[in-house]
Amino acid sequence: MHTATTDYRTPQSWITLAVFLVLVIGVGGLIGTQSVPGAWYESLTKPPLNPPNWVFGPVWFALYVMIAVAGWRVWVAAPQSSAMKFWGAQMLLNWAWSPVWFLAQQPWLAFVILVAMWLAIVGFILASRRHDRLAPWLFAPYLAWVSFAGYLNLSIALLN
């Protein structure tokens, strides 16, 4: 099913959107509040272009909204699709990264998770094109940010 034949304006669709938003933003926010940068992170040598800590919250909030909307749109069009499998995989990897980085303090394992997340994001972008025109574009800033996060993660792992 493609966007042209998918009705996103039904009451059931709006409820599904609310569930996606609450799930993605809620779980992401909860994980973010439980795995904040602490003394360990502050002591690390950072690479050039490392943004100040206050940048991450607003960026992730905006990205989580786009991730939720993209997932919702593909779910409504094709809930059993490979695109949704990629969406679920990237979300689980996304939620795993912060605890591994900040709580377990494992930059190399976090980098492995980040690479797998990057691949799942690319998989979603490619697979979702069959079902929706907007969803892959909603993931483009996410792919860019995770690519940048890869630079930061790898640089910090190498510098420390």
Asked if residue 60 lies in contact with residue 28, where contact means CB atoms within 8 angstroms, the answer is yes
What's the pLDDT score for residue 34? 93
Coil, helix or strand at residue 138 = helix
The pLDDT tens digits for 1-53 are: 455 578 888 999 999 999 999 999 999 999 999 998 899 999 999 999 999 99
**Superfamily designation of domain 3-159:** TspO/MBR protein (1.20.1260.100)
What's the pLDDT score for residue 91? 98
The pLDDT tens digits for 102-149 are: 999 999 999 999 999 999 999 999 999 999 999 999 999 999 999 999
What's the pLDDT score for residue 7? 87
Asked if residue 109 lies in contact with residue 100, where contact means CB atoms within 8 angstroms, the answer is yes
* Per-residue confidence band for 66, with pLDDT thresholds at 50, 70 and 90: very high
Outline where DSSP puts E strands in the chain: none
Q: Domain ranges for the chain, please list them.
A: 3-159
* Residue 9 backbone phi and psi in degrees, to 5: -100, 10
Structure tokens at 12: 């059931």
The pLDDT tens digits for 30-42 are: 999 999 889 999 9
What's the pLDDT score for residue 6? 85
What pTM value is reported for the model? 0.94
What's the pLDDT score for residue 36? 87
∠ CA(160), CA(56), CA(102), 5° rounding?
A: 40
Alpha-carbon distances, residue 155 vs 10, 106, 151, 159 (angstroms): 46, 13, 6, 6
What's the pLDDT score for residue 18? 97
Average pLDDT, the chain: 95
Element (H, E) at 63: helix 56-77
